[in-house]
Amino acid sequence: MHQYSGISQSRTKCCRRSSDLDEVTVKIRTELPGVVVANHVDVGQAVKQGQTIAVVETMKLEQAILAEAEGRLTSIAPVGALLEPGGLVADISPTRQRPEVPADLLCVALSSAPGGRFRELDLSDSGLEPTTRPLGTQDSGVIIGEISHQLRGKVLKRVWICGASDKQLGAVAEPECRRIIAAFDYAEKYDLPVEWVAVSSGARVSLQSGTENMDWCALVVRRIIEFTQSGGEVIIVVAGMNVGAQAYWNASATMLMHCAGMLVMIDGTAMVLTGAQALARSGGTPAQSDQEIGGYQEVMGPNGQAHHVVPDLVSAYELIALHHALGVTGDTSDPTDRDICESPLDEDRNLGAILRAAYNPTRKQPYPVRSLMAALRDSDAPVLERWPDMAGAEGVVAWDTVIGATPTTLLGVESRPTANADGDGPEVWAGCTLYPAAAKKVARAITHASKKRPVVVLANLAGFDGSSWSLRNLQLEWGAEIARAVINFQGRIVVVITGRFHGGAYVVFNKTLNDNLRMIALEGTKVSVIGGSAAAEVVLKKDVTRLATRLAGSSAPTPHHHQLAQQKTAERFDEIHSVARAFEMGSVDAVVPPEQLRSSVIDQIRSPLISDQALQHADSRESLAPTQQQHLH
């Protein structure tokens, strides 16, 4: 295996320049210690030099943080983050021209991490075999190879597929499809993920070939589905126009519920079935550009079909490296028993103000869930947020991070109301509530982590939104998908009740769905079918009426008596249906003080799983007659 198989001297220079691109990233720091109180720009958005991107409060003075260069925001400290002197507020990546030909794309890929190596593979009678020809001299519109990097002391190998935009704009027919199918065969044989830098104008259109090209494209779809349903992982980088067949291949590899990989779009690219000009000629809905039809900001980010957007290929490979790094167990200097109650909630309070029952007895105080998530994860661990721009799913935050040195998917439900920027649906997304898109994000995140990493769910959930709008938008279906994801999940799931936990949400995260699900509740939390207020108002009307009559004495009950009776009935309901009762019923595995939340979660993550074999053995014992069980003893 050699590092630059067949790359010319000019391409080697390109590689050296690509490796130096990290130095171009503009890092914006604060001179004084402070806390971030506002973000004016989101990751992925374009910024101009001098534009305010954040506000940091230092010594009770607010300081506007300005962009020092024009480009794309690639990271920003979240609101509530405490910054030391010289602390990093944001990164800006200047917009750079995307490389187009495969050799340039490979240069960037190889220089993205230490130890980058590549060997090209091509078809032979027995499958894919190494070839030593100069890169880019192949006849087909796709390049296949094996790429590897050093990652935390290990060699990370992947099968690399790259569309050749210099070969009929990456159009595909039998030669390309045969190689792509062989690449998936190779990946399955050697248990490797597939990394696909996608640039393609779709199925080839020519006078010499026709429907057979579509047949070959369909065979690729079949192979992708077989690969992903068997647990294979595909990472797609949309590095140029993806038309027709390529767009469907991207969907088959990353967008279905069972898929384990991810789809990253470079800003300015698009995935379309028909280009804007062809669409206009055919009488379809007109569009100004391909990005308007299938770009990230316009379509693929809001609908959740693309996971991430980045400004350029360098940033894409930085993200891919982070994705793989979060799958490798490492070390942490963060103590297991750290008290998260002392971690910051906002500029004035710490987390103890909402987690301790003495300060939040009703468990109804809203709070930013990201603060709790940041406190629970290892303080020295990175965070990769999945589907950050999915419209209607703002109420759920999905992180891949590390807890107790274990790579973990961490899900948080926002307890604060969130403005609906999309305009479709209610004006405000209620806190502690799952709407259809948020439920879909939860189900996808759980499925995405299966067999790879444990899942921790921070549950402060009143339930699913039951409005007609939500039901029209597949609320029942996506809620059921959460239950299916939990049932099929292979690994540990830890559900942490941080506030209230009611209704259908309790059912789809129930410990009876999966023998490896553990449920922890904080002291003073509320667990019941519905909340006390709703129970008193809707279900326990007779009890309220009787109590109002007793409170009124000899006179007729007044509205004040009814209001007081309803309040007392609600309080009594919540007292009866406490977390202590849920623990007695076996619905909850443990009730812990908030000071011990981090250590309790880590203990559950590290605890041994109940294997399928053990479950089958237990089931077989339960099916035996009593005399047979006695005989076994």
pLDDT given at position 633: 35
Amino acid symbol at 241 = M
Lowest mean pLDDT among 6-15, 210-219, 463-472: 6-15
pLDDT given at position 98: 46
Over residues 396-423, the pLDDT tens digits come to: 999 999 999 999 999 999 999 988 887 7
Residue 171 has pLDDT above 70, yes or no: yes
Over residues 239-279, the pLDDT tens digits come to: 998 999 999 999 999 999 999 999 999 998 999 987 556 65
pLDDT given at position 17: 33
Helices marked H in 202-348: 211-229, 245-254, 276-281, 290-294, 313-325
What is the rounded average pLDDT of the residues 437-461? 96
Over residues 271-298, the pLDDT tens digits come to: 998 755 665 555 566 666 788 889 999 9
Residue 202 has pLDDT above 90, yes or no: no
CA angle, 151 then 156 then 157, to 5°: 160
Cα torsion 344, 347, 349, 351 to 10°: value is -30
CA angle, 240 then 243 then 244, to 5°: 155
Stronger pLDDT, 139 or 145, i.e. the higher one: 145
Tokens of 227: 């690969």
CB 192 within 8 A of CB 159: yes
Contacts of 575 (CB under 8 A, 6+ apart): none
Cα torsion 256, 258, 260, 263 to 10°: value is 10
What is the rounded average pLDDT of the residues 516-534? 87
Tokens of 47: 């910024």
Tokens of 281: 């000629």
102-325 in CATH: which number?
3.90.226.10
Over residues 372-388, the pLDDT tens digits come to: 999 999 999 999 999 99
Beta strand pairing call for 526-528 and 428-429:
unpaired
User: What confidence category does residue 347 fall into, taking pLDDT thresholds of 50, 70 and 90?
Assistant: confident
What is the rounded average pLDDT of the residues 450-466? 94
Spatial separation of the C-alpha atoms in residues 513 and 588, rounded to whole Å: 13
Q: In the CATH scheme, what architecture does the domain 26-93 have?
A: Beta Barrel (2.40)
> b or e along 268-290 (b: 16 or more beta carbons within 10 Å of the residue's beta carbon)?
bbbbbbbbbeebeeeeeeebeeb
CA proximity to 236, closest of 228, 30, 117: 228
What is the rounded average pLDDT of the residues 443-455? 96
User: What confidence category does residue 556 fall into, taking pLDDT thresholds of 50, 70 and 90?
Assistant: confident
What is the rounded average pLDDT of the residues 177-189? 97
Lowest mean pLDDT among 60-64, 257-261, 295-299, 334-338: 60-64
What is the rounded average pLDDT of the residues 127-146? 89
What is the rounded average pLDDT of the residues 296-315? 95
Tokens of 30: 């604060």
pLDDT given at position 7: 29
pLDDT given at position 323: 94
Helices marked H in 433-558: 436-449, 468-472, 475-488, 503-508, 532-534, 541-552
CA proximity to 109, closest of 315, 257, 265: 315
Lowest mean pLDDT among 154-163, 176-185, 456-465, 524-533: 524-533
Tokens of 237: 């980088």
Stronger pLDDT, 202 or 609, i.e. the higher one: 609
pLDDT given at position 396: 97
Over residues 465-517, the pLDDT tens digits come to: 999 999 999 999 999 999 999 999 999 999 999 998 887 888 999 999 999 99
CB 475 within 8 A of CB 430: no
Lowest mean pLDDT among 3-7, 461-465, 608-612: 3-7
What is the rounded average pLDDT of the residues 595-624? 75
Beta strand pairing call for 517-522 and 493-502:
parallel
Asked whether the CA dihedral 567, 568, 571, 576 is positive or negative, the reply is negative
3-state secondary structure of 358: coil
Count how many Cα atoms sit within 13 Å of the Cα of residue 212 in the half-sphere of its side chain. Answer: 9
pLDDT given at position 86: 87
Spatial separation of the C-alpha atoms in residues 354 and 476, rounded to whole Å: 31
DSSP structure string for 133-148: SPTT--SSSEEEEEEE
Q: In the CATH scheme, what architecture does the domain 340-529+578-614 have?
A: Alpha-Beta Complex (3.90)
Spatial separation of the C-alpha atoms in residues 48 and 54, rounded to whole Å: 13
Q: What is the mean pLDDT of the chain?
A: 86
Q: Where are the domains of the chain?
A: 26-93, 102-325, 340-529+578-614, 532-576
Q: What is the DSSP letter of 578?
A: B
Spatial separation of the C-alpha atoms in residues 342 and 72, rounded to whole Å: 34
Stronger pLDDT, 363 or 599, i.e. the higher one: 599
Spatial separation of the C-alpha atoms in residues 134 and 472, rounded to whole Å: 56
- Residue 129: other Cβ atoms inside 10 A: 12
CB 92 within 8 A of CB 26: yes
Common-topology check for domains 102-325 and 340-529+578-614: yes
pLDDT given at position 569: 86
pLDDT given at position 614: 55
Surface-to-core class of residue 508, CB atoms within 10 Å of its CB (0-12 exposed, 13-18 middle, 19+ buried) = buried
